[in-house]
Amino acid sequence: MVNYLMLYYLYLRANWLSLMQYRLDFVVKNLSVLTLNLVLVAGLGIIFSQVGEIGGWTFHQVLFMFALGMVCRSVWHLLWVDMMSIGWLVRSGGMDRLLVRPLNPLFQIMAGYLDDDDWGELVVGLVGLVVAGRELGLGRQAGQVVLIGIFVLSGALIYAAIHLAANTTAFWLVSSHSMSLLAWELDNFSRYPLNIYGVGIRFLLTWVVPYGFAGFCPAMAFFGQGRLAALGWATPLVGVVVFALSYRLWLHGLASYQGTGS
């Protein structure tokens, strides 16, 4: 484990130095993403200026959920988005190159790339958490800050688990693009309180594709009640369990991998 942590640090350092070779491109890309996400938050504000509340939730409560989900997604996207390349690795034979190395192939995929254009989303999400948290009286105690950090890591792990499962289907389908795109698009539903949706979508986003545990559910640990609060406190456990299940699926797919034959 210690060796893998050291290797991960070295991968991150090398990837960061690579990004900094093109600093202007890095800045322009992230300013664009930052602007896009500011527009999304502004749109949320416009909605609340007209309706007052959504599903019984105030603007700052929804902003907290929205921003928490945004930070979870950006952490996954920045660090582990390259798992979306699994389909390409299977089709091109690049998986063979990973398998001959004395390292876990999934570790190589997750550590081998640092995204260059989602830092703007991370900044907007963090600022949103601070602004909403201040209005809701959250984040003033060290314990709350630590808890938010745990929820962010758990949410990022859930994102990783969902995308790992979706892209692992490439071992059987060869092209996992449709499944990967489905996983990518579904997270749009998780930006808002789950109770504004019908029973079917709530069930889907909680128990089938559990994006709800990367925004709405952990927020309930702070201002939910009863069952909703219990779901929020279960977020770290859900993250570990869902990723473990996805990893088992990955191992099953890897065991069935036959190479490209070329």
Q: What is the pLDDT of residues 53-71, one digit of tens each?
A: 888 899 999 999 999 999 9
Please, are residues 147 and 221 in contact by the beta-carbon 8 Å criterion? yes
Determine, yes or no, domain membership for 113.
yes
In a domain, 217, yes or no: yes
Tokens of 184: 């990518």
The answer to the question of residue 231 being in a domain is: yes
What integer pLDDT is reported at residue 227 of this predicted model? 82
Q: Provide the domain limits for residue 114.
A: 2-255
Q: Would you say residue 262 lies in a domain? A: no
pLDDT at residue 223, as a whole number: 85
Whether 184 and 209 have beta carbons less than 8 Å apart is answered as: no
For helices 119-136 and 23-51, give the axis angle rounded to 10 degrees.
40
Residue 17 domain-assigned?
yes
The DSSP call for residue 187 is G
Q: How many separate domains does the chain show?
A: 1
- Give the pTM: 0.94
Is 66 domain-assigned? yes
Domain assignment of residue 98, yes or no? yes
What tens digit of pLDDT does each residue of 99-157 get? Answer: 999 999 999 999 999 999 899 999 999 999 999 999 999 988 899 999 999 999 999 99
Q: Indicate whether 261 belongs to any domain.
A: no
- Asked if 116 and 23 count as a contact pair (C-beta separation under 8 A), the reply is no
